[in-house]
Amino acid sequence: MNVHLGSVLDEFVADLLKSGYYQTQSEVLREGLRLLKEREEIKRLRVAELRKEIAVGIEQADRDQFVDGPEAFAKIRRRSAQRKRSKG
């Protein structure tokens, strides 16, 4: 595989090699791809969790178990004010 990274990333890879932490360009790219894969997995899990929470919210709304907007924001403002007072 031949990959063109561009001057900025080429310099970054060169600096990593100079540091001695990585021995080859392939090691640097494998580590970068491993981190990217990890990040994508975390993102996938977060989206799945968000979908679950949305489904719960929809079910609650269907049962009329929800708080209207102004009431929800008032509650948020009260909690925020309490936190500020406790820190202050």
Predicted local confidence at residue 1, as pLDDT:
79
pLDDT at 78 over 90: yes
Asked if residue 2 belongs to a domain, the reply is no
Q: What is the predicted pLDDT for the residue at 58?
A: 93
Q: Which amino acid is at 7?
A: S
CB atoms within 10 A of CB 5: 13
What is residue 66's predicted lDDT score, i.e. its pLDDT?
80
- What's the whole-model pTM score? 0.64
Residues 6+ apart with CB under 8 A from 3: 29
pLDDT classification of 81: cutoffs 50, 70, 90: very high
Check: CB of residue 40 under 8 Å from CB of residue 29.
no
Asked if residue 22 belongs to a domain, the reply is yes
How many separate domains does the chain show? 1
Domain contains 1: no
In a domain, 31, yes or no: yes
Query: Domain limits at 56?
Result: 7-87
User: Is residue 88's pLDDT more than 80?
Assistant: no
pLDDT digit string (tens) for 30-71? 999 999 999 999 999 999 999 999 999 999 989 988 888 898
